[in-house]
Amino acid sequence: MTDAAYPDWDAVYRDNVTWVYRLMYGKVGNQPDAEDLTAEVFMTALRPMRVSATVPEVRKYLRMTARTVLASYWGDRMGREVTSIEVDVPEVIEPESVASDAPDKVRRLLQRLPDNYRRILELRFLQAFSVREAASQMGVTVANAKVLQYRALRMAAQSGEEATS
Amino acid sequence: MSDRTVRRFVEGLLRGQPTERARPDDFEADQMKTAIELRAARLGSDAPREEFVTDLHRRLAGEIVDEQKPVIHPRWAARRRQVVIGGSVAAASAAAGLVVGRNLLAPNESTQAAPPTQGELEPNAGTWRAVGASVDLPDGGALAFDLGSVNGFVHRTDAKLEAVSGVCTHQGCKLWLDAPESRLRCPCHSTSFSLEGTTVTHQMPIAPPPLPKFQVREINGVIEVFAPTKPA
């Protein structure tokens, strides 16, 4: 498959839009921004793309474009890159595998936390409970749940930092 | 205070809102990153909306192809739309694409030389059929019609009426009227035609033929085209 090329931009788009969106969603965590960034990637990338580019070349190019687009997004929003897209990926990227390590990473991260910290993050982030719902689920006050959530996030961020460095 | 920056970010994130501007320090940025990873790990939350995928496809077909394809009809040359989204990255890349001059979207120049000529639809048996009232078609306007056996678009330019087929000459998909751009666009590929029926953009090695024209007339405030008689 490595020598295969796409017949036209339409095929490039249809084959790659889902993984580009997933990649972006995994880096910004919200739908409106993930959609805007995905649109920008394709608007930017489809223009100068070569007719003869192979499928892996196209995917690599889309990924590099996504990396630039994301960096510029964070630069504008936060003045720094909160998340980034890694360059060192295998030559042949299977679209399905792009964002697949994220759940594992999160699971490992949560496992390192004390029970009540893990629980509040699971309820709020993974299960989309409101603060009130999460508080009642855990048998604590709403104010308590808020404090727990932010302490848990701080600890998760610290432990994530230690794990990578 | 540092807490507020992260809290505001996380509240927005959990509500699914776009990220607002802030100036986090290192540790705040780490917390934001962790929050994003947690949020993105929510099951089933990372599939693109079907409407988004379709809408972006339509925008790409309209915007990018317009920018890149050689424009056959000089009248359209000055009417390129600006790309709505994207900042300096898009602009820089667009410029690079134009300078380098190699791109996925441009048709093969060598096969462009002799576009097929535009024929007039001449059914073996036809009748004049009403497609609309004269008052509904001001100068510069266009109107879609569907007579069952044929469909198409009639437009009035400089007081002159012209009607063309509404079926793409590539693979037969039904064209739609992009009124603001005065284009007839194919939903299947990126082919588009002028209201006069000439091929404006396409992604094929060889340009699809122009759209056949209908005979059209205006009688007593009614616009009619000459269309095949319905089978008995």
CATH of the domain at B167: 2.102.10.10
What is the domain range of residue A116?
Answer: 102-164
Report pLDDT for B137: 87
CB burial readout B35-44, b (16+ within 10 A) else e: bbbbbbbeee
Q: Is residue B218 domain-resident?
A: yes
The answer to whether residues A14 and A93 belong to one domain is: yes
User: Tens digit of pLDDT for each residue in B42-69?
Assistant: 877 778 999 999 999 999 888 765 555 4
* A84 at interface of B, judged by CB pairs closer than 8 A: no
Domain count, chain B: 2
Report pLDDT for B78: 36
Report pLDDT for B33: 95
The answer to whether residues A25 and A46 belong to one domain is: yes
Contacts of B8 in chain A (CB under 8 A): none
The answer to whether residues A20 and A83 belong to one domain is: yes
The answer to whether residues A68 and A125 belong to one domain is: no
* A83 at interface of B, judged by CB pairs closer than 8 A: yes
Query: A54 forms bridges with which residues in the sheet?
Result: A5
User: Tens digit of pLDDT for each residue in A23-49?
Assistant: 999 999 999 999 999 999 999 888 776
Q: What CA–CA distance (Å, rounded) separates A138 from A147?
A: 13
What's the rounded mean pLDDT across residues B129-147?
86
Please state the pTM of the whole predicted model. Answer: 0.57
Report pLDDT for B24: 95
At which of A59, A77, A97 does a domain end? A97
Q: Is residue A2 domain-resident?
A: no
Whether residue B85 is predicted with pLDDT greater than 60 in this model: the reply is: no
**B53-57, B58-62, B78-82, B122-126: range with lowest mean pLDDT:** B78-82
Whether residue A80 is predicted with pLDDT greater than 90 in this model: the reply is: yes
The neighbour count for residue B175, using CB atoms within 10 Å, is 25
Contacts of A82 in chain B (CB under 8 A): 24, 29, 32-33, 36
User: Tens digit of pLDDT for each residue in B9-31?
Assistant: 999 999 999 999 999 999 999 99
Number of continuous H segments (helices) and E segments (strands) in chain B: 4, 11
Q: Do B64 and A9 touch (CB under 8 A)?
A: yes
Report pLDDT for B96: 38
Distance from CA of B164 to the nearest CA of A (A): 26
Q: Is residue A128 domain-resident?
A: yes
Q: Do A39 and B89 touch (CB under 8 A)?
A: no
Mean pLDDT over all residues of chain A?
Answer: 86
CATH of the domain at A153: 1.10.10.10
Report pLDDT for B108: 40
The answer to whether residues A44 and A91 belong to one domain is: yes
Whether residue B83 is predicted with pLDDT greater than 60 in this model: the reply is: no
The answer to whether residues B130 and B224 belong to one domain is: yes
> Which of A49, A78, A155, A161 to mutate: most B Cβ within 10 Å?
A78
The answer to whether residues A130 and A87 belong to one domain is: no
Report pLDDT for A28: 96
What's the rounded mean pLDDT across residues A12-24?
93
Q: What CA–CA distance (Å, rounded) separates A145 from A132?
A: 8
User: Tens digit of pLDDT for each residue in A131-149?
Assistant: 999 999 999 999 999 999 9
Q: Is residue B165 domain-resident?
A: yes
The answer to whether residues A90 and A151 belong to one domain is: no
Distance from CA of A30 to the nearest CA of B (A): 5
What's the rounded mean pLDDT across residues A52-76?
91
CA torsion angle B15 B19 B25 B26 (round to 10): 80
The answer to whether residues A120 and A141 belong to one domain is: yes
The answer to whether residues A133 and A116 belong to one domain is: yes
In this complex, the residue of A26, A80, A150 whose CB is nearest that of residue B3 is: A150
Whether residue B100 is predicted with pLDDT greater than 50 in this model: the reply is: no
Q: How confident is the model at residue A54 (pLDDT cuts 50, 70, 90)?
A: confident
> Which of B9, B11, B19, B51 to mutate: most A Cβ within 10 Å?
B19
Whether residue A115 is predicted with pLDDT greater than 80 in this model: the reply is: yes
* A1 at interface of B, judged by CB pairs closer than 8 A: no
What is the domain range of residue B148?
Answer: 126-228
Report pLDDT for B37: 92
Q: Do A38 and B16 touch (CB under 8 A)?
A: no
The answer to whether residues A93 and A107 belong to one domain is: no
User: Tens digit of pLDDT for each residue in B140-184?
Assistant: 888 888 888 889 999 998 888 999 999 988 888 889 888 877 889
Q: How confident is the model at residue A8 (pLDDT cuts 50, 70, 90)?
A: confident
Report pLDDT for B61: 87
Q: Is residue B63 domain-resident?
A: no
Q: Do B134 and B221 form a contact (C-beta atoms < 8 A)?
A: yes
Instruction: Indicate the DSSP class of residue B180.
Output: G
Contacts of A128 in chain B (CB under 8 A): 14, 42
Whether residue B8 is predicted with pLDDT greater than 70 in this model: the reply is: yes
Q: Is residue B144 domain-resident?
A: yes
The answer to whether residues A25 and A82 belong to one domain is: yes
The answer to whether residues A93 and A22 belong to one domain is: yes
Report pLDDT for B119: 81
Mean pLDDT over all residues of chain B?
Answer: 76
Q: Of B101, B92, B93, whose CA–CA distance to B69 is shortest?
A: B101
At which of A40, A64, A97 does a domain end? A97
Q: At what angle do helices B2-14 and B26-40 cross, to 10 degrees?
A: 20
Domain count, chain A: 2
